[in-house]
Amino acid sequence: MKKILLIGTGGTIASEATDSGLAPALTTRELLGLVPVAAARCDITALQLFSLDSTNITPVHWQGIVRTIRENYGDYDGFVITHGTDTLAYTAAALSYMIQLSPKPVVLTGAQKPINFDSTDSKVNLTDAIDCAARGGPGVYIVFDHKMILGTRAKKTRSKSFSAFSSINFPELGVVRDGTIVRFITGDTAESPEFYEELDTRVSLLKLVPGMDRAALDFLFERNDAVVVESFGVGGVPEAGGFYDSIEEWKSRGKLAVLTTQVENEGSDLAVYRVGYRLKKDLGVLEAYDMTTEAVLAKLMWALGLSRDPAEVRRLFYTPVAMDMYPFG
């Protein structure tokens, strides 16, 4: 019988109604008691790491999850993390960089409705996640609404529906139906995983809107080591408003700029239009290509946690990890 560590972090799946709205209340052990069929399939240890609405999850909590998995890695065959859906894609991306090449499953799941509600997706998602941790294959991925989604490619695309998550610019890893797992894609693994805990959290995100000037970008550069700019379409910044000058000035002070797109699918291509071409050719900004914004932010935190040398950070950023980007070139 496979040994599974079930790690609880809170979220809707563990929430109950209060006078001021839903809030995490149930322990991981209580969640497990509500899915007895799944619990009987494996030898499961329940661990309550924290009990938070995922809006309150920070990189410090990512580090706590990674530390827990690293310390227990040799004792279990797989890991399930229950987590709120709102920042689940960020956590899945972060764990993908912090736990690389894992031969064991590290499965994240959650729910859109609490487990004690009459109409809930909690029990199905938790059961599927436990099955995948036991038999679903290696790597870091989300199991939700019968889908297996790579941690670096997941995004929450629906705020209320049970089909909350989509795989962006990459196929789903597999599907789960009534305990049957069909896996289509398996990534690279090693005999043992590579664990990383150091992160540089001084990374921020600016979403461009028409008419914006450089003031917001300067504000973020002053307080961070890197800024990700979510630009329009395939990528670029307005020629008015001082954006080019801002990026050039802050680059000279050792700050990094990354360009991505607000469009969910198909990625960026800065070479297409003049508004993007100069950024790449003359200013040397990093380009996200087909990566999700969640993955870009997490990868920058990981890369900057390893090195402050711009050339090395560039190399790390452009090296595919956990199938987070197609080789460019």
| Cα three-residue angle 292-134-183, rounded to 5 degrees | 50
Cα–Cα distance for residue pair 126/143, rounded to 1 Å: 8
Distances (CA, A) of 114 to 32, 33, 129, 283: 13, 14, 16, 48
Q: Which of the 8 DSSP states describes residue 197?
A: -
Collapsing DSSP to helix, strand or coil, 5 comes out as: strand
| Cα three-residue angle 280-307-72, rounded to 5 degrees | 125
184, 152, 160: which is closest to 85 by C-alpha? 160
Cα–Cα distance for residue pair 111/124, rounded to 1 Å: 9
Collapsing DSSP to helix, strand or coil, 157 comes out as: coil
Collapsing DSSP to helix, strand or coil, 301 comes out as: helix
Active site residue 12: yes
Contact 68, 7 (CB under 8 A): yes
Choice among 12, 85, 87, 91 that is catalytic: 12
Q: What is the largest CA-CA distance in the chain?
A: 63
Which residues are identified as catalytic? 12
